[in-house]
Amino acid sequence: MPCPPSRLLAPLSRSPRLAALALVTLMLVGCGGEDQATAASAPAATLAVGMVPVQAREIERSVTVSGPVAAWEEMQLGVEVSGLRVTALHVDVGQVVRRGQVLLELDHRMLDSDLAQSRAALAEAEAGLQLAQANLNRGQALANEKLISASALDELRAARVQAQARRATAAAARDASQLRRDFASLRAPDDGVISKRLVQPGQVVAAGGELLRLIRQGRLEWRAELADAELALVRPGMTVRIATRDGEVTGRVRAVSPGVDAATRTGTVHADLPQPGALQAGSFVEGRIATGRGNALVVPAASVVQRDGHAYVFTADDGRTVRRLRVRTGSRVDGRVEILEGLKAGMRVVNQGAGFLGDGDLVRVIATPTAAPATANAHPATAQ
Give the architecture-level CATH label for domain 77-107+184-218: Beta Barrel (2.40)
Residue 45: pLDDT band by 50, 70, 90 thresholds?
A: low
Instruction: Look at residue 118 and tell me whether its pLDDT is greater than 90.
Output: yes
Phi (first) and psi of residue 22, to 5 degrees: -65, -40
Q: How confident is the model at residue 109 (pLDDT cuts 50, 70, 90)?
A: very high
The CATH T-level fold of domain 47-61+293-383 is 2.40.420
Sign of CA pseudo-dihedral 40, 42, 46, 50: positive
Q: d(Cα 62, Cα 292) in Å, to the nearest integer?
A: 7
Judged against a pLDDT cut of 70, whether residue 1 lies above it is answered with no
Return the domain boundaries, the chain: 47-61+293-383, 64-72+220-292, 77-107+184-218, 109-182
pLDDT in tens, 133-188: 999 999 999 989 888 898 999 999 999 999 999 999 999 999 999 999 999 999 99
Q: Give me the CATH topology for the region 109-182.
A: Helix Hairpins (1.10.287)
Express each pLDDT in 190-235 by its tens digit. Answer: 999 999 999 999 999 999 999 999 999 999 999 999 998 889 889 9
Pairing verdict, β 84-89 and 239-244: unpaired
User: What is the pTM assigned to this prediction?
Assistant: 0.60
CATH 3.40.50.720: does it fit domain 64-72+220-292? no
- Mean pLDDT (the chain) is 84
Q: Crossing angle for the helix pair 150-183 and 109-144, nearest 10 degrees?
A: 160
Task: Give 317 or 5, the one with higher predicted confidence.
Answer: 317
Distances in Å between the Cα of 354 and the Cα atoms of 47, 325, 341, 347, 383 are 10, 12, 19, 15, 21
Mean pLDDT of 358-373: 73
Mean pLDDT, residues 360-366 taken together: 87
